[in-house]
A and B are shown apart, each in its own frame.
Chain A
Amino acid sequence: MEWASQLCENRGLGSKMTDSKYFTTTKKGEIFELKAELNSDKKEKKKEAVKKVIASMTVGKDVSALFPDVVNCMQTDNLELKKLVYLYLMNYAKSQPDMAIMAVNTFVKDCEDPNPLIRALAVRTMGCIRVDKITEYLCEPLRKCLKDEDPYVRKTAAVCVAKLHDINAQLVEDQGFLDTLKDLISDSNPMVVANAVAALSEIAESHPNSNLLDLNPQTINKLLTALNECTEWGQIFILDCLANYTPRDDRESQSICERVTPRLSHANSAVVLSAVKVLMKFMEMLPKDLDYYGTLLKKLAPPLVTLLSAEPELQYVALRNINLIVQKRPEILKHEMKVFFVKYNDPIYVKLEKLDIMIRLASQANIAQVLAELKEYATEVDVDFVRKAVRAIGRCAIKVEQSAERCVSTLLDLIQTKVNYVVQEAIVVIKDIFRKYPNKYESVIATLCENLDSLDEPEARAAMIWIVGEYAERIDNADELLESFLEGFHDESTQVQLQLLTAIVKLFLKKPTETQELVQQVLSLATQDSDNPDLRDRGYIYWRLLSTDPVAAKEVVLAEKPLISEETDLIEPTLLEELICHIGTLASVYHKPPSAFVEGSRGVQHKRLPARTGSGEGAESPDVGQSGPSEAPPAVIPSQGDLLGDLLNLDLAPPTATVPSVQPSMQMGAMDLLGGGLDSLLGGDIGGSPSMGAGLGAAPAAMPAALGGAPAVGGGLGDLFDLGGGVGMPTGSYVAPKTVWLPAMKAKGLEISGTFARRGGIIQMDMSLNNKAMSVMTDFAIQFNRNSFGLAPAGPLQVLTPLSPNQTIDVSLPLSVNGPVMKMEPLNNLQVAVKNNIDVFYFSCQYPLSLLFVEDGKMERQVFLATWKDIPNDNEAQFQIKDIHLNSDAASNKLQGSNIFTIAKRTVEGQDMLYQSVKLTNGIWILAEMRIQTGNPNYTLSIKCRAPEVAQFVYQCYELVLKN
């Protein structure tokens, strides 16, 4: 110990400490003073001044005004001063390009200096000055320096090529610097080789397709030789470059691995990690039965463990990489569990990473130890860490079946601590355990339920609700529990709302009798009062499912769920492969491909592991592929949202498939309905009919009360109504029988059939509403889309009583023709939206045009003649009405009943000619000539109208009226 005094040999301590004063000058007029000092004759003063300038520059002050004065100091023999001036130049040259030219001469001169340090300094600095004019002058000196006799200059010049390429790539190519750089790979000096490799790799990155690096066995050999001789940094450059090479076969692969493995003992962690990258990549090509393969696997573990005794920041990088390696090749570290145990004083980022790796390494052999550790961690201080530890216990249970019971009891212990976030986290993982081992641990449910009130995080609430829904039949007060959540439904997060919806539907299917109200409530909350489309859609799907086919609903919702499997959070295999190719780099730290965080073309290139090729022996081995049993990728637990998503996409496939098949005729209008129509249906447009508005508004509150009551009465009333409608009907007007407009399948059990009638000048829409669903329907309302003749409901849809299941109500809706007009295709198409407490449904139907034939449609004879002549003949359309066995008078009478008026009758050569007129509600006149030949059952109808498109529909009315 007598030599202890030699320990502190710190040169710096002896030198004078005065430079800090430069940081303190802040007075005004500083720039002016500096200018004077810079132009001083005294060397010392100049130097002091430049130092002050640099200090100001460092703290972010703008000292660009001093540019000419500083550049003037460049011509000096003093190396320190020169370096300072260069530093200034690199910072400000870009802002003062014209003045930067002043420096060029000095640079060019310095590149010829006998001192290699000066030559290198000049070429190094010049490359950092990003001014076009300067780069032009840089080319010649650079060319010389690349071939300099001194390796120090050459290694600096090699990097300079990369700098120049960054400024002007074309110039570098034109000047042939790339070839010179390639030649440097064969340089005798290892450091020159390393820098050349670094420069080439960087340039190659921005030209992904160029074969710039041109790695072949010869160059690889040169690199491997240089690897043994260059600095630690150079070794990293070379190893990173090697990792991009793909060996021709397994033999070459093995020989490279053999020469790289010694690097695993390097003191520099980055060298070790880069070597690991090369080995991990090239190992892919080795046949698994090769002895060397096993040796290599064994050699990889110790250096990886050693990385954990590095400084914490490096440990973090190492752990992130080990996380990848463990996923790719779990066998390497499977016996090293203990080294990942968390130390109390580890930084939090190290702790979290270690925990992650512990779970990945957990197996039946070490699970007891792991669990003991995890339980210990769950009592630590850092909330994130504790949560992760609790979650880890759950993951162990899922991964190692034998440990599940112990895990569950550990979790229960933790729940007893009543520490809020521990309890919540524990419940989340217990849910996962239930999903892995259904019907095994539900004895713990009671304990879980005790903690219901303390759950304030969405994930925990959702998990608890899931558990209650899943085991509803075993929880006596499941309905109460779920109802308590329902109170604040709209304040819950989507995750909880979705889960609650599903859970209550499950509950309903399991205990339908007591929970009908609850399910109604949640369905209406989800479909009517929510703005969230996901929630609404799911609500509709459940509703439709429940209303159309309860049995199917049961099969779907209570279907046996696929078990979740052992591993969570596994990185997707192709990404994992790519990340393995990036071991040691930022990509491996972020666990993201470089393209996710690097701008521009760099790093966009995706790297892949080489495929196993095999030469000779390799190809013979049976499991050449990557399908070893240990490598079968375990399935990944989808997150909560995904699972529910799957439920929707997979399980409900049959019902949803029918949804797109809406009647094609409806589509055009449907868009409009969904746009403005729907909103107006539910809100504002109802202004004209106050009673309906009130009904809508009051609906949710009134509904539960109205549920049980009035089906019988309702039915009677409906019948009465129908009767009343029928009484006032004038004779003659033909009314088609009702047809089904809206099948129950498409309307959650509501079936609507109907027809149209014109009675005494009033247009009526007669409908039968039939409830084929299981639940009561209330709150009906109707609205039409704009249509050709402006048909619109003249009043609200009068369905006074709730419509019970299997009940039918007939309603008659008076229509007006004062609604908005839009030409429809076909012309008489009508699109209707009907709303009830369940949903809004759309259908379309076609009305006979006779609906619009007004009573005062009889034209004056004179006017008729004039109009007939007036309408161009092009507008005349001829039709045949076949198989009519009526004489002209009978026909005329019949038609009159439908407001088709005969103005005149002529008989020519045994042929009756009836001249008739029709007027539509919108004032359009239609003139017709009907020829009836006695004995011939076929009538000929000529229709003339200024709007010829109606002719077709008028003809249809003729046919309908005459045939019925």
Chain B
Amino acid sequence: MIGGLFIYNHKGEVLISRVYRDDIGRNAVDAFRVNVIHARQQVRSPVTNIARTSFFHIKRSNIWLAAVTKQNVNAAMVFEFLYKMCDVMTAYFGKISEENIKNNFVLIYELLDEILDFGYPQNSETGALKTFITQQGIKGQVRTKEEQSQITSQVTGQIGWRREGIKYRRNELFLDVLESVNLLMSPQGQVLSAHVSGRVVMKSYLSGMPECKFGMNDKIVIDKQGKGGTTDDSGKSELGGSGKQSIAIDDCTFHQCVRLSKFDSERSISFIPPDGEYELMRYRTTKDIILPFRVIPLVREVGRTKLEVKVVIKSNFKPSLLAQKIEVRIPTPLNTSGVQVICMKGKAKYKASENAIVWKIKRMAGMKESQISAEIELLPTNDKKKWARPPISMNFEVPFAPSGLKVRYLKVFESKLNYSDHDVIKWVRYIGRSGIYETRC
């Protein structure tokens, strides 16, 4: 298991050091600094073995978090734990920065003591932790016995993510369907790979221990219902009629509150939600994705010292919808000496430090197109190596789900309290963002 956990600043100074196992010595702290943080070369692996000691590290802004072990630990678990650790810290004191860590080091030690015992991760749900790890330690003794046992049963219980006795005057919930659409397109406009990775984020402000059921236009569920029972050929007949209404989900994962066995057997998503904001599910689709933008590049080398670039973008969605925060990034060679840009819409600038022309458009409606052309002057070099031509990348935000996912319902049942599903105010919103959205040129 995890033998120790260190947090360093960008200079490699230790901010937090907690050793859980006897086989990890103080020299491990230095070994990581010397071999990884101060290493001359770029880090080639997030797992490093130095003198039979393995170091797992992640970076958040310029803070290094490293877990150390001498055993054959579950590597996936160690990274998941490090991410979780970051989540917990962020929930407690905001951004992970050197200043915040120094300001909260006592709290961090306290957290580390609680969520990692002898290197074994324990309950790390912020909701539960916040009930008994606070910065006002004195509170601990004011508690009544009932409160204490309520805390422990929550921390260890089946529903470790929610405490009992939550009350809201107004029962309300918010569902955000956040999708990032990823694309890799060839210069000729052929889709090399495309997928949507989506998340359903829920904010729940519900009283008691509500039982929830979430439904979406999952093809498997729709097909089942449409035919009243499944037969093999149902898929085909469905496609012709209402194919657009359901989507094929390649895979999905759920927050630990969701009863996985129920999903596995009935494909229904039922759960008792944590209080506040959390990620209910993640999913991935690859079929019938709406690609909101199409990028058409044209790069021409004029002699050895000049490049002509023309890029056209086309928006491909309902004209009534507006895309926002559109940014097209056109890479330029390292030996660029000057750039002239003309664009029809928005603003474009050559950023020498980033080796790219950045073209920004605030808003753009569907079914429109816009164009940028640029002349790039190059310094003559004797460098034999050809310019690698990185792909043109794009950022944007659209008010719909490119996968076509639709929330069909979210039902809330709380039998012990006197509110029903109809009393709950529900909000749903769809946001589609660009993930890695690249067109080769």
Contacts and interface: CB of A to CB of B under 8 A. Distances in A.
Contact of A585 (B75, B256, B277): B75
Contacts of B43: 349
B151 interface: yes
A379 B80 contact: no
B80 A314 contact: yes
A584 B79 contact: no
Given A232-B256, A265-B264, A270-B80, A597 B192 contact: no
B77 A236 contact: yes
Q: Which of B49, B118, B279 has the most CB of A within 10 A?
A: B118
Interface stretch (A76-84, A170-178, A805-813): A76-84
Interface stretch (B136-144, B310-318, B360-368): B136-144
Given A20-B103, A228-B260, A379 B386 contact: yes
B46 A83 contact: no
A306 B256 contact: no
Interface residues of A, number: 127
Interface in A390-434: 417-420
B184 interface: yes
B373 interface: no
Contacts of A195: 117, 120, 122
Given A55-B105, A348-B44, A349-B45, A162 B118 contact: yes
Interface in B121-158: 121-125, 130, 132, 135, 137-138, 140-141, 143, 145, 148-149, 151-153, 155-158
A41 to B, nearest CB: 18
A933 B216 CA distance: 128
B214 interface: no
B156 A87 contact: no
Contacts of A231: 122-125, 160, 256
Interface in A151-175: 151-153, 155-156, 159-160, 162-163, 166
B383 to A, nearest CB: 10
Contact of A51 (B17, B106, B251): B106
Interface stretch (B52-60, B230-238, B407-415): B52-60
A603 B74 CA distance: 13
- Binding site of B, secondary structure by majority: helix, strand, loop or mixed? mixed
B97 to A, nearest CB: 11
Contacts of A232: 80, 256
Contact of A150 (B152, B263, B282): B152
Contact of A270 (B77, B102, B255): B77
Given A12-B93, A159-B118, A265-B264, A78 B256 contact: no
Given A17-B99, A117-B148, A316-B47, A60 B29 contact: yes
Interface string A583-594: 011111110001
Q: Which of B81, B104, B256, B277 has the most CB of A within 10 A?
A: B256
- Binding site of A, secondary structure by majority: helix, strand, loop or mixed? helix
A19 B120 contact: no
A339 B149 contact: no
A641 to B, nearest CB: 25
Given A79-B140, A189-B156, A266-B260, A603 B72 contact: yes
Contacts of A269: 76, 79-80
A56 to B, nearest CB: 12
Contacts, number: 323
Contacts of B135: 15, 80
B79 A311 contact: yes
B230 to A, nearest CB: 15
Contacts of B122: 155, 191, 195, 231, 233
B29 to A, nearest CB: 7
Interface stretch (A3-11, A754-762, A841-849, A953-961): A3-11
B102 to A, nearest CB: 3
Given A11-B130, A58-B16, A379-B389, A306 B74 contact: no
A79 B137 contact: yes
A192 B122 CA distance: 11
A387 interface: no
Q: Which of A1, A55, A86, A376 has the most CB of B within 10 A?
A: A376
Interface residues of B, number: 121
Interface in A6-38: 6-7, 9-13, 15, 17-20, 22-23
A169 to B, nearest CB: 13
A384 B192 CA distance: 24
A142 to B, nearest CB: 14
Contacts of B174: 3
Contacts of A270: 74, 76-77, 79-80
Contact of B253 (A191, A237, A265): A265
A65 interface: no
Contacts of B239: none
Contacts of A259: 261
B83 A311 contact: yes
Given A3-B174, A316-B47, A344-B390, A127 B256 contact: no
A130 B74 contact: no
B192 A314 contact: no
A18 B14 CA distance: 18
B279 A267 contact: yes
Nearest to B193: A338
A313 B57 CA distance: 8
Interface string B412-441: 000000000000000101000000101010
B71 A602 contact: yes
Interface in A58-93: 58-60, 77-81, 83-84, 86-87, 91
A959 B156 CA distance: 105
Given A10-B91, A60-B29, A314-B80, A117 B103 contact: no
A379 B148 contact: no
B149 A83 contact: no
Given A12-B92, A124-B117, A268-B80, A23 B102 contact: yes
Contacts of A152: 151-153, 155-156
A274 B76 CA distance: 9
A309 interface: yes
Given A267-B254, A303-B251, A376 B72 contact: no
A330 interface: no
A312 B46 contact: yes
Contact of B46 (A166, A338, A339, A349): A349
B22 interface: yes
Interface string A283-322: 0000000000000000000110110010111101110000
A492 interface: no
A3 B427 contact: yes
A10 B72 contact: no
Contacts of B155: 152, 191
B388 interface: yes
B40 interface: no
B264 A584 contact: no
Contacts of B109: 54, 83-84, 87
B17 A58 contact: yes
Interface in B288-318: none
A84 B70 contact: no
Given A17-B99, A603-B71, 20 more contacts: A11-B130, A13-B93, A17-B100, A55-B105, A163-B118, A189-B156, A266-B260, A272-B253, A302-B250, A312-B46, A344-B390, A349-B45, A376-B440, A379-B389, A585-B74, A586-B69, A586-B72, A586-B75, A587-B72, A589-B47
12 contacts: A12-B94, A23-B105, A78-B138, A124-B113, A150-B152, A233-B81, A265-B260, A267-B255, A348-B44, A586-B73, A589-B47, A597-B49
Interface of B: 1, 13-17, 19-23, 26, 29, 42-47, 49, 52, 54, 56-58, 69-77, 79-83, 90-94, 99-100, 102-106, 109-110, 113, 117-118, 120-125, 130, 132, 135, 137-138, 140-141, 143, 145, 148-149, 151-153, 155-158, 160, 174, 184, 186, 192-193, 195, 197, 203, 250-256, 258-261, 263-264, 276-277, 279, 281-282, 284, 384-386, 388-391, 393, 427, 429, 436, 438, 440
